[in-house]
Chain A
């Protein structure tokens, strides 16, 4: 390597690189390789650069030696070398080097040659990854934003890509703040940049919210040609933009229909690509057919499975086939499914058999044909086919009671071959349900009873119920059997569920057999048509994530994206035909946004004036500086806290209501947080309260579904004040239909903190045996007022004087007829303490202080005019915490 001959040097470096690529450690040669860098031979230079990128991290001191060459190369007359140098420098992840990088990078961002500019744009993203602060301090982000209006489309695309990547680690920043002008620039660049650039631009466009349907349509028109692109990622990103903006177009519009028609062919074409691409496409199509089934309703055939498709493609195709199944095509679908049920792959066969059952439930006209197909399959005696068939036949019985019972005999023949719990449980259910028509039902059930303890819980529970049903139907012959099973369940079992159910039956049977009959043989609710549909609000959110990993997993990114960065929830734009005005574009229609609309926090008994933005306390991290006062850490955007704080205070003044509980703080009446229709029958209403230092969330869970709910659990998303459940959600018994339960869930404020918008927004996930549901609610701020919020008089005075004007705000509370003392004691109930009281020109002045759980103080002045019963409040936020720390 130290040879004078260029050729020898190159060969040596090549050998080193070759070893490096296969994973050998050649870092010991670092100084020698770096020595070869100062050369005018481009290939040698490139090879050395390759090496440097790999090993600079482990040899930072040595890497410094290379800096001068880089800086020099950035001034080279050849743009290729300038670009190469700036590109390589960015890849060297050594802090010391990054400092030297700034100047050359700044020059390159303004280079005359677009090739250099576009390389430099990416370099900003690299640098941001290494040292975000540096990038911000050096103003590179602004330069990058300027590049969005560059004349060269490639530069625009790379700037967008770099900004998108940076924005991902800064969800709250408005790096990609789009306006109609920049949108126009992007759309122009879209036509001319490379396929990869088009993906970045389209993904960026998808985040834009057009101001009205006209703008949405014009963007759609300019995006549509991308559907004919050869790159499937471009196509799918274009589909995302169209699916999202379509939401804003009126359905009566001709263009809407045209667009729908245009979407089908590209989606079908994606299915003729390589299997890996097909898989991702199918996962997305699954979402699209749920959102807009009309797009692909005529394309059933392209989802037919080919026998040499990879299994992951087969399973996805099957799923979509069921979604598209309708009366028109059911015959074809069934014939296909029957064909699949004789294939080799066990997983696929099982799913195909299940699919037949799902078709029966979905398309009523086909039920009979489905049942006979299933019977044919049972005749094949292939064990796993029989078991799957029995499981789905049970569902068919549930959906169409008293219609297909003639097949029971055939099912019973296969009783002995069932070895999977689910199939056994299904069979036992059938026997119990139709015990009166099966002559030897008691014998059949008794045969299961022999190995009772070896069965899985699912089977045991089913067996218990089935025998009780049998007993109620044929009490004379089966008394012994029921005794046996009850004692097995209650005495010999360790499983609490089983024991509980056993005892309940026992009590019921022994005290009131008539009631028992009513309970056990009650009419069953119909099972839902499709059990695996994605919940509509989640679906709407996922539509916004078409083409991303979220769409592959069918989960919102917040559920799986690595790292603690807050993920901004996306929502579809509202439909414009409901209210064709501009404003509606800004306020998402509830049915299309992820969260149900925040319920009116607390019905304000005191009508409040429209409050000016009340500025909440300064965040601890922020200096006393600018005019933004967000209370949560690490934010820059000013928060509008007016509404929550205002109404919170209003409620504290709940004077007309005259509840008069001076000891505890104000508790708002419960409101519905999660309506039953959004949560498969679970309704949640609740409120927040604070009692002697502890915060609690008082919930009422109501089961409005037709099935029993159990296994409740609750979780909060990170929020501004770190609210978190202090104990698990305890619902002791399963919640029967039409039953409700009241729970008081203790909360603490030690959870992780993330600034929310609005500040007091709380996102909650509640799980039960059916699904997971999400809702968000606003909590009144006063639950966070701590008991030791009484400030020293002296400190108060001193602090009051220091409060900068911009931290001050005021608003009025009208129609409040209390005197100063009453107000004072009332507020004290909510931990707002009176520090001093004055009377100036006939007005009572109260000086109040309160402290939030995160240590932030708020000072206030109340002015009470006796003649005109109205209050002027000056909530004066003050960052006391910072001061105390100092």
Chain B
């Protein structure tokens, strides 16, 4: 099972270590540092590194490496999933997950880690249970604690831990009973030079924020459940009911949680809401190149495309770029060769464009590779897959809750080749 955890920052300092079994010397991280040096970028450090006596499994998030040490044959996905869970928990507790905040809250971090694993076995990883065991720091609570001498640690057995619904505590009470659901879809796509789609798929999630009194039993049905053929559920969802009736039936956890995630695969036709027209050319003889891109809406079902952001990694031989945008702001970093253009909203009447010239390093031949354009955007009130919630019903409690459903489509890894 998981032996130890080391947190390492980008400059290679170990700033926290936690051991769940015997202490493993931090020199074991030397193997990690070697791999880190070999990798060109932090993202490229391999997630599984063997050492003579241990294995190092790591994830890289928020510019921090979370390195777990294991000694025996343990499923690596189990370890990696757990590490991501640790990061999520920190984020949940402290709002952000950064080196500074972890150092500031080192005791809480330590207590939380101690509760999450026992001898390397996961103990409590659901954040609402953890929060019952160890209360997250808030300014108010810190003040109250210093005055009254009470503590962050709950003295109750986490009630949910052993009930039939371990994800929900008993005795929840709210004055306003509300249940909100966000359907968020991300499009991952690769578009080729000529604008045709090479591959496109949708990663969707339904995130919920449920604040309901007592033990509510909810059902959620869809207009077109057929779309959901590849789904991963929160443990609260009754799988049998879904299998037979295509209805989500569940007793929700209290607070924020991810009800389900789904995947609409490349085999289905995925609508592409934007297009990019580009004309990027480097000439062999001269040290100047031309650059021109235009972004426009495509299949948006009449909704506005906003938050558009274009980034592109230019070839190494590009010295500088002189560009004028029709709207928004742009920047080119001559060191990293990264071009970014914050476009904002797309007005279909007046399409945003970015034009200008590229100056290349003198004497070098024209770059072999063409830059890929990376696109970010958001469309409110639209689930691009067409998924629609039909109705939400509550059983088991008498009050009338307030219900709300929001849709949003975003770009995931959306790439246009040029």
Contacts and interface: CB of A to CB of B under 8 A. Distances in A.
Contact of A233 (B44, B78, B316): B78
Contact of A301 (B198, B234, B370): B198
Contacts of A332: 198
A547 B77 contact: yes
B15 interface: yes
Interface in B225-269: 229-235, 239, 243, 258, 260-261, 263, 265-267
Interface stretch (A118-126, A417-425, A508-516, A869-877): A118-126
A279 B47 contact: yes
Interface string A255-286: 00000000001101100101111011100000
A196 B151 CA distance: 30
A283 to B, nearest CB: 9
Interface stretch (B21-29, B294-302, B319-327): B21-29
A302 B265 contact: yes
Given A22-B16, A196-B78, A549-B76, A265 B22 contact: no
Interface stretch (B105-113, B277-285, B379-387): B105-113
Nearest to B237: A228
B16 A21 contact: yes
Interface in A288-314: 298-299, 301-302, 304, 306-308, 310-312
Contact of B44 (A43, A54, A310): A310
Given A6-B149, A280-B80, 9 more contacts: A122-B119, A122-B121, A199-B78, A233-B77, A277-B84, A302-B199, A307-B372, A549-B73, A562-B52
Contacts of A154: 161-162, 166
Contacts of B239: 225, 228
B55 interface: yes
A268 B235 contact: no
Interface in A311-348: 311-312, 332, 335-336, 339, 342-345
Nearest to A343: B369
Nearest to A90: B119
Contact of B235 (A161, A195, A342): A195
Given A233-B78, A302-B266, A42 B155 contact: yes
Nearest to A561: B73
Contacts of A7: 146, 149
B155 A203 contact: no
Contact of B151 (A41, A269, A275, A304): A41
A102 interface: no
A414 to B, nearest CB: 16
A87 B115 CA distance: 11
B157 A78 contact: yes
What 4 A-B pairs are tightest by C-beta distance, nearest first? A265-B230, A43-B151, A43-B153, A233-B77
A280 B110 contact: no
Interface of B: 1, 14-23, 26, 39-40, 43-44, 46-48, 50, 52-53, 55, 57-61, 71-78, 80-84, 106-107, 109-111, 114, 118-119, 121-122, 125-126, 146, 149, 151-153, 155-157, 161-162, 164, 166, 188, 190, 192, 198-199, 201, 203, 229-235, 239, 243, 258, 260-261, 263, 265-267, 313, 315-316, 368-370, 372, 374, 413, 415, 417
Contacts of B151: 10, 41-44
A233 B81 contact: yes
A18 B106 contact: yes
Nearest to B85: A231
Contact of A122 (B39, B81, B106, B118): B118
Nearest to B152: A43
Contacts of B52: 562
A65 to B, nearest CB: 21
Nearest to B39: A311
Contact of B75 (A78, A114, A162, A199): A199
A contact patch SS = helix
A57 B22 CA distance: 9
Q: Which of B40, B71, B118 has the most CB of A within 10 A?
A: B118
B199 to A, nearest CB: 4
B88 to A, nearest CB: 11
Contacts, number: 244
Nearest to B161: A115
Contacts of A560: 50
23 contacts: A17-B107, A18-B106, A22-B15, A47-B107, A78-B157, A115-B157, A129-B21, A168-B73, A196-B121, A199-B75, A228-B232, A229-B233, A230-B258, A235-B232, A237-B75, A269-B263, A275-B47, A276-B58, A307-B372, A310-B44, A547-B76, A549-B74, A560-B50
Given A302-B199, A562-B71, A280 B149 contact: no
A230 B77 contact: no
Q: Which of A80, A154, A266 has the most CB of B within 10 A?
A: A80
A134 interface: no
B44 A232 contact: no
A849 interface: no
Contacts of B417: 339
Contact of B162 (A41, A152, A380): A152
Contacts of A768: none
A382 interface: yes
Nearest to B57: A276
A274 B266 contact: no
Interface in A15-49: 17-18, 21-23, 41-44, 46-47
Contacts of B156: 80
Interface string A547-565: 1111011000100111000
Q: Which of A18, A154, A553 has the most CB of B within 10 A?
A: A18
Contact of B119 (A80, A91, A274): A91
A755 interface: no
A50 B263 contact: no
A332 B199 CA distance: 11
Contacts of B263: 265, 268-269, 272
Nearest to A114: B162
A196 B125 contact: yes
B331 to A, nearest CB: 19
Contacts of A312: 44, 46-47
A75 interface: no
Contact of B26 (A18, A23, A79, A91): A23
A272 B413 CA distance: 10
Contacts of A114: 162
A113 B162 CA distance: 9
Contacts of A342: 368-370
A93 interface: yes
A281 B77 contact: yes
Nearest to A200: B121
B73 A548 contact: yes
Contacts of A161: 1, 121
A179 interface: no
A344 B44 CA distance: 14
Contact of A311 (B18, B44, B106): B44
Contacts of B78: 196, 199, 233
A165 interface: yes
Contacts of A22: 15-17, 106
Contact of B107 (A14, A311, A380): A14
Nearest to A119: B118
Contacts of A46: 111, 114, 153
A78 B234 CA distance: 31
A194 interface: yes
B333 to A, nearest CB: 16
B141 to A, nearest CB: 13
B21 to A, nearest CB: 7
Given A269-B263, A280-B48, A311-B44, A306 B235 contact: no
Contacts of B190: 304, 306
A235 B231 CA distance: 12
Q: Which of B14, B17, B110 has the most CB of A within 10 A?
A: B110
Contacts of A50: 110-111, 114
A236 interface: yes
A22 B265 CA distance: 45
